[in-house]
């Protein structure tokens, strides 16, 4: 069973009147679930981007090809500043709704940027002259495969940060 965690509940005899609770967490199921989610998310968001805004997607892919290091640095710095702002907003009662909106907006931008970054890598690995289907599948497989490995999550984060930075460069 795939999921963030596979839980098994059962009576463990915790004493009279206290049956107890036994919880077993399967980390392999969590990793597999994350990898599957990364694959599907990259595939779906990438497909939406190439269907709705192909020129924008190709423009951002060009930015990532031309300035990959600058995009990663910009993305990581923007993310750090956004987290600081998010935490500061959570400390005020009035700022909590703004923090929630900020979080959702950043999550959306991160998803789009990550999909564009993985599409950029996929188009460098395979020929994209036949259309977007093959690059979308390769991009999803790359993200899912990296997420499936332990250290690959760090690489996937950096790739996502590059896409995040490429998108935010135009707006900040």
Say what the pLDDT of residue 18 is. 55
Q: List the structure tokens of 166.
A: 């490429």
pTM of the model: 0.79
Half-sphere exposure of residue 32: CA atoms within 13 angstroms, side-chain side: 9
Give the residue ranges of DSSP H helices in the chain. Answer: 27-52, 54-66, 68-90, 95-125, 133-148, 152-168
- Cα 12 to Cα 24, 27, 29: the distances in Å are 12, 22, 24
User: Which residues neighbour 20 within 8 Å (Cβ) at sequence distance 6 or greater?
Assistant: 11, 12, 13, 14
pLDDT in tens, the chain (172 residues): 444 444 444 444 455 555 556 566 666 677 777 888 888 899 999 999 999 999 999 999 999 999 999 999 999 999 999 999 999 998 888 889 999 999 999 999 999 999 999 999 999 998 777 888 899 999 999 988 888 887 787 888 899 999 999 999 888 7
Task: Give the pLDDT confidence score for residue 1 in this predicted structure.
Answer: 40
Tokens of 58: 């190709």
Cβ(160)–Cβ(68) below 8 Å: no
Residue whose C-alpha is closest to residue 128's, from 137, 16, 90: 137
Rounded to an integer, what is the distance from CA 86 to the centroid of its chain? 18
* Cβ–Cβ < 8 Å for 157, 66: no
pLDDT confidence of residue 20: 57
Task: Give the Cα separation of 63 and 106 in Å (integer).
Answer: 20
Give the per-residue pLDDT at 130: 80
- If one counts every other C-beta atom within 10 angstroms of the C-beta of residue 84, the result is 10
- Radius of gyration from C-alpha coordinates of the chain: 20
């Amino acid at each position: 069973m795939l999921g963030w965690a596979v839980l098994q509940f059962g009576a463990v005899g915790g004493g009279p009147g206290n049956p107890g609770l036994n919880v077993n967490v399967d980390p392999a199921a969590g990793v597999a679930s994350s990898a599957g989610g990364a694959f599907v998310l990259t595939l779906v968001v990438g497909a939406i981007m190439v269907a709705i805004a192909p020129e924008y997607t190709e423009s951002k892919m060009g930015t990532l090809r031309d300035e990959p290091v600058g995009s990663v640095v910009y993305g990581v710095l923007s993310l750090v500043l956004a987290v600081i702002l998010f935490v500061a907003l959570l400390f005020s009662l009035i700022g909590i709704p703004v923090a929630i909106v900020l979080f959702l907006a950043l999550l959306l931008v991160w998803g789009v940027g990550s999909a564009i970054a993985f599409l950029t890598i996929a188009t460098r690995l395979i020929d994209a002259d036949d259309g977007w289907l093959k690059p979308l599948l390769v991009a999803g497989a790359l993200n899912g495969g990296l997420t499936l490995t332990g250290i690959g999550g760090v690489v996937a984060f950096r790739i996502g940060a590059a896409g995040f930075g490429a998108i935010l460069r135009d707006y900040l």
